[in-house]
Structures are given as structure tokens and as C-alpha cells.
Structure 1
Amino acid sequence: MASIPNIKTYHFLPYKYGSELLIDIGRIETLKNYVLDSTSHQLSFYEIIFIQEGSGTFIQDENKISIHPQVIIFTSPGQVRRWEIEDKVKGYTLFFEKDFLHLFFSDELFLYRFQYFHQYSHPAKMEICKTSFGKCLELLHEIEQEFKQIQNDSNHLIRSLLYQLLIVLNRYYAEIYSVQRDTYVHPDFYRFRSLLEKRFLRDQTVEAYSRMLNVSPGFLNKICRQFSGLSAQQMIHYKLISEIKKQLHQNKSAKEISYELGFSDPSNFNRFFKKFTHTTPQQYRKNIK
């Protein structure tokens, strides 16, 4: 994950509890200098926030998320965010490094199996009912209790609880946004999602990714529609639009963004942006301000 100039980056502290442990949990209200940061910042790790009380706005990349009870927010590494708090926020934050899971499962694409991480075509948040939120809190309480009495095998118990929580959250998310909830669809879809995160600045055609994956464009479109409801090209376009909005929030000019994203000229860039957002980059930036 590349850091963005002039944006504060928080990194994980793996030896906070003595021996290496790549996961942590905390109460939001006790981590004000980190969690409730009102300046723009990014994380080098994954985080899930569970809101129990409070109100305000959480801005993540180009998206504004309303803060209120039973809202869950997902952050993937590199996303730029900040808090605008109105009433005191209480709840849990659970954060971890990708290695905490993917080395154990011997699958570097493991976290791409969950719909809410590295998401740009659906919101990186959800609001669930009181009963479902309570089930999540039960798992969080178990994780929290284990942290209060760390033992040699605690990482295994915590990992199993985290895995259970991620699966439960994926089911809730899939139901709310009507997306595929099965975490074991064709592995080429996960490879495509991973490649898209890393290469979208250079490769913006289905054919390019098909060659890298050694599959046909038709097959890639088929598995993308099966899991995400979008074609491969639509996923590429959504990723580009998300990145454009993110850079407009950082006050980059349309000409500068157009050049960085490989558009032939600013007019093509403007047409592309307006096609998907029904507004021009200039109007979008004006609305931000």
C-alpha cells in the first residue's frame, strides 16, 4: 500500500502485547487520538467499526457514512478517511493485518473473499437489526475477553472468532446488498479483484486482465457477474470512478487526474466521469466544498 503525500498513515503495532499478535480490539471511546481523528488519514491494515452510540459523519474516500447505532463500517488498507462527530461515539473497533489470516489459511487472496473489503460498487458499511448486531457484539466480547488474559494459544482462539465474525458479516452484507455471499466461488474472481486493486492505473481493459489470468474475456465476465452482479468492465469502471472521486477530494485538478489515469485528453476524462456520475469533475468538486 502506497502512502498518499500529506496524509497521516496509521501502522499496526504487532508487539503491543509482547509477542507478535497481528490483531487488536478496542473501545472507540478510549482510542480518541486514533479512532476519532478529525483530520484526513489512512490505515495500512484492515478495520471494522461497530457503532453502539453516537452521531455524525464518517468520510471514507469519496463516501459519506452517517454514524448512528447498529452501523458497521469496513476499511481496507489505503482508504482515506476522517471523522466528523456530533454526539459522543461509543462502540468497538477491530483491526488486523492481512497476515493474521492469509498466512494461516495459506491464501494471499483470502480477504478478497469477503464482499465488504476492497469494495467500490457497493457501500463499505451496513446497518443491521438489533438482534444481528447483538450477535456480532457477543463475538467481539469473546475476543475482548481473550485479550484481557493473553495466553500462548490466544492467537488461535482469536483467529477462529475473527473468522466466524467475518463470515457472519459477509452473510449480512450479501443479504442487504443482494450480492453473492458464498466465499468459495471461482478463484480467478479473487485474483481479478486483487489485480484490479494493484494495476487499474495501467490496465483498464478486460482483455488485459484476461491475459494475466490466462482465461477468456467471456469467462472473466461470467464469474464477475456471478459474484458481484457486474461485468468485468463495469468493475474496472467503478474502480476508476472511485479513484477519480478520491483524488478530487484531494484537490487534484481534472487535468492532473486525467493524465495520471491514462485518459487521452481532459475532454474524454470529463465525458467518462459525467457518464457514470451525471455531473462533471468540476461540479463534483464544487459540491464537495
Structure 2
Amino acid sequence: MEPVTKIKTYHFLPCKYGLELLLDIGRIETLNHFVLDSTLHQLSFYEILFIEKGAGTFTLDENKIPITPGTTIFTSPGQVRCWEIKEKVEGYTLFFDKDFLYLFFSDELFLYRFQYFHQYSFPTGMKIPEVSFQKCMNLLHEIEGEFGQLQNDSGHLIRSVLYQLLVILNRYYASVYHIQGDTYVHPDFYRFRSLLENSFINDRTVEAYTRILNVSPGFLNKICRQFSGLSAQQMIHHKLISEIKKELYQNKSAKEIAYGFGFSDPSNFNRFFKKLTGSTPQQYRKSL
């Protein structure tokens, strides 16, 4: 049996600046301990990367995102990632703990309102026009400037600029991928997205989620298609495939993964995986 691949997890340091501040910003090329190589790793917090220079690829779960100037990449907690650098990468990383926004807005679903986080069906990177990219840079410089003169109310100012940046990026993202960019759909859709992240191990059927949400399957499918273009079952399957691929990264056997995710036997697991991805688990593992 092949050795298990260890995926290192990095956590947020809330008191790096003395007072608790659940957001940080830095230059990709100079930030201490920033992983910028082929080492497999994951974060327990959110991050947005703004690429100004460089070439190569950034792999997020199984998706390879080309690194080019003007590219913005969105990562959610728990995604497996690594870099393949061909030309030196320069730019900004902006990262924050979910509570930086949740506690202020008193809305645990807040970050699920943005299309680019916890995304299964569309890319989590985009290249935007130079003028739009520069608009994002201006907001980043405003946040960076506040870190140079931190005060007791700096958290509020930084949070307001971050909120503006997130909304602008959501509009750009919706425009690039031709999807709905309005951050308000139905609250039950955001609750469903949140449940997919937090209750997925125990609940993998549409019926389980409709019972929790107290809605009909037809209604859940309607709001899922409205915002994501996918049915509720398709969203569950995309999440399941994403979790299976993380297990394949770690060289677990198909049998172990199959029974761990509740498949009746490895052959059913193999058929399911191939139907949704076009390759068998073994073929996928070899391609990594």
C-alpha cells in the first residue's frame, strides 16, 4: 500500500498585531511562512489572492487555475492547494477568519452569499480587466495602509472596506461566468449551502436537507437552480466528489473511501465517481 500523503493545515493567528484582529494582508512574495511551492496544504480560513506578476498554475482541490497578471483566486477553508511556479509570483494575499464578518453582521450565512466561496460547479479563479483589477488594488492599499497605523477602531474601518471589496468581486465574478450576482436569493438557499459544508458527513440526501430546512424538495430545487444553476441533488453530488478527491489525495484505498462515504461496495463507488468525473478513482489518483 502506498504511504499516506500528509496535508498540512495552517490556522489563523488572531493576535499577531497585539489586539485581536481576524484579518490580515501581505505581499505573496515576502509574507513570512507563506507557502509558495508544490507542498500540499490547506487553510482553516478564507483567502483571496490577487496576482500582479508571475506564471504557472495554482491547484485548488482538483482545479488548476492559470497564474497570470490580473488573476484573482478565491479559497475556502479546507480546500487542498499547491503551487507550480514558472515565473516568480507577486501580488497580494488577503485572508480572514469567518468570525471577522459573522460577528459584526450577526449573520452566520454571510459568506455563503458570495458566489466564489464554497463553489463546486464554477472555477474559483477569474481574470478581470486591468481597470477593474486596479479598483481592487486601491481597496487593498486602503486596508494595507490601516495596518500601518492600527487604532482601536481599525477593525471597523477594515471590515467596511472588505465588505465593499467582496461585493465588487461578486459582481465581477457573476459577470465573468454569466451567473446571478445578486447577494440576496432566498435565505433557505444560503442555509442549504451552509449545511452542505457543516452537516455533509451525516446528511447526503435531498430529503435529509428538506427536513432540516422544513421545505419541499421542489422548492429547494427551485432556489438552487435560481442561484447556482444546479439542482439540490447535483450540489450534493458536487460536494461528495470534492470530499472524495480529498481522500484520494491522501492515497486511501478505494475500498476504504467507498465504505467511509456509505457506498454499498467499491464497484458502486467506482461507477458513481466515473459517472460524475469521467475517470475512475484509480485514474484520477494517477493524474495527480
Q: Counterpart of 2:104 in 1: which secondary structure?
A: coil
Whether 1:265 and 2:261 are equivalent positions in the alignment is no
Q: Counterpart of 1:104 in 2: which secondary structure?
A: helix
Letter in 1 for 2:188: D
Task: Determine the C-alpha separation between the residues in 2 that align with 1:35 and 1:145.
Answer: 24
**TM-score after normalising by structure 1:** 0.95
2:103 alignment partner in structure 1: 103
Residues 43-192 of structure 1 mapped to structure 2, 5 A cutoff: 43-192=43-192
Task: Determine the C-alpha separation between the residues in 2 that align with 1:95 and 1:44.
Answer: 10
Task: Determine the C-alpha separation between the residues in 1 that align with 2:75 and 2:201.
Answer: 21
Letter in 2 for 1:223: I
1:240 alignment partner in structure 2: 240
Do the aligned partners of 1:201 and 1:260 also contact (CA within 8 Å) in 2? no
Range 30-39 or range 19-28, more displaced: 30-39
- Alpha-carbon shift at residue 280 of structure 1 (Å): 1.3
1:253 alignment partner in structure 2: 253
Letter in 1 for 2:266: P
Range 195-204 or range 136-145, more displaced: 195-204
- Alpha-carbon shift at residue 202 of structure 1 (Å): 2.3
Long gaps (5+) in structure 1: none
Task: Determine the C-alpha separation between the residues in 2 that align with 1:32 and 1:125.
Answer: 24
Do the aligned partners of 1:128 and 1:172 also contact (CA within 8 Å) in 2? yes
Letter in 2 for 1:119: Q
CA deviation map 1:82-135 (0-9, x unaligned): 122121110000001111101100001110111111111111111111111111
Do the aligned partners of 2:37 and 2:85 also contact (CA within 8 Å) in 1? no
- Alpha-carbon shift at residue 13 of structure 1 (Å): 1.3
Aligned-residue Cα RMSD (Å) equals 1.5
Task: Determine the C-alpha separation between the residues in 1 that align with 2:265 and 2:241.
Answer: 16
- Alpha-carbon shift at residue 199 of structure 1 (Å): 2.3
Do the aligned partners of 2:171 and 2:181 also contact (CA within 8 Å) in 1? yes
Deviating beyond 4 angstroms after TM superposition, the runs of 4 or more aligned structure 1 residues are none
Do the aligned partners of 2:210 and 2:220 also contact (CA within 8 Å) in 1? yes
Count of aligned positions: 285
Q: Counterpart of 1:201 in 2: which secondary structure?
A: coil
Task: Determine the C-alpha separation between the residues in 1 that align with 2:287 and 2:44.
Answer: 29
- Alpha-carbon shift at residue 33 of structure 1 (Å): 2.6
**TM-score after normalising by structure 2:** 0.95
Residues 219-230 of structure 1 mapped to structure 2, 5 A cutoff: 219-230=219-230
1:276 alignment partner in structure 2: 276
Task: Determine the C-alpha separation between the residues in 1 that align with 2:57 and 2:108.
Answer: 33
Long gaps (5+) in structure 2: none
- Alpha-carbon shift at residue 37 of structure 1 (Å): 4.4
Range 194-203 or range 28-37, more displaced: 28-37
Do the aligned partners of 2:22 and 2:100 also contact (CA within 8 Å) in 1? yes
Q: Counterpart of 2:33 in 1: which secondary structure?
A: coil
Letter in 2 for 1:15: C
Letter in 2 for 1:147: F
Letter in 2 for 1:21: L
Task: Determine the C-alpha separation between the residues in 2 that align with 1:247 and 1:178.
Answer: 32
- Alpha-carbon shift at residue 60 of structure 1 (Å): 1.4
Q: Are residues 32 and 62 of structure 1, via their aligned partners in 2, closer, same or farther at CA, if it must alter by over 3 Å?
A: farther
Residues 6-21 of structure 1 mapped to structure 2, 5 A cutoff: 6-21=6-21
Identical amino acids, percent of aligned pairs: 76
Task: Determine the C-alpha separation between the residues in 2 that align with 1:35 and 1:274.
Answer: 32
Q: Counterpart of 2:247 in 1: which secondary structure?
A: helix
Letter in 1 for 2:64: K
